[in-house]
Copies of this chain bind each other. A is one copy, B any other.
């Protein structure tokens, strides 16, 4: 699956995990490498529809992972390499983080100058 800046997700309904985090001051480079590895690893999992993982100027960041089902989210949560990254996330890289699991009801894409109403 191509890693695009904005994920070309299908028509809803589908599911999204919003991962919001506040980084610690330490290990910024390690954290960036890990985040990149996890996005690449997630992109290879069954049921992954798209990933958006911007780079941040400061400590707060948001990444969005779109999935076809709650089952796929559950399976990714228990993936072995992802479990190891979760430990790093909990003890080293983040002061705090929040995971929101959502059912996506609407998904609209706009290009520059598109006339459609938001």
Contact = CB atoms under 8 A, between A and B. Distances in A.
A91 B106 contact: no
Report the contact-size class of chain A (Cβ under 8 Å from the partner).
Answer: 35 or more
Nearest to A87: B118
A46 interface: no
Contacts of A2: none
Contacts of A21: 6
Interface string A78-112: 00000000100011001111111111111111111
Interface of A: 5-7, 9, 12, 16, 18, 20-22, 24, 52, 54-64, 77, 86, 90-91, 94-114, 118
Which 10 A-B pairs give the minimum distances between C-beta atoms? A102-B102, A101-B106, A62-B62, A57-B57, A5-B60, A54-B60, A55-B57, A103-B103, A100-B107, A102-B104
